[in-house]
Amino acid sequence: MEFRSYLDEMGFRYRWFNHPEAHSASRLAAVQHIPGDRVVKPVIVNLDGEFVLCALPASYRIDLDLLRRELNADEVRLASEAEVAQLCDCQPGSEPPVGWLFGMPTLIDESLFEDDRVTFPAGTCDEAITMSFLEFFRLAQPAVGHFCRRISAGRPMQVH
Residue-by-residue DSSP string for 79-147: PPHHHHHHH--S-TT---S-GGGGTS-EEEEGGGGG-SEEEEE-SSTTEEEEEEHHHHHHHH--EEE--
pLDDT confidence of residue 159: 44
Question: Residue ranges of the domains in the chain?
Answer: 3-150
Four-way CATH pick for 3-150: 3.40.50.620, 3.40.50.10490, 3.90.960.10, 3.40.50.460: 3.90.960.10
What is the reported pLDDT for 28? 94
φ, ψ for residue 5 (rounded to 5)? Answer: -65, -40
Write out the chain's pLDDT in tens, 160 residues.
699 999 999 999 999 999 999 999 999 999 999 999 999 999 999 999 999 999 999 999 999 999 999 999 999 999 999 999 999 988 888 999 999 999 999 999 999 999 899 999 999 999 999 999 999 999 999 999 999 999 875 444 444 4
Q: What pLDDT sits at residue 93?
A: 85
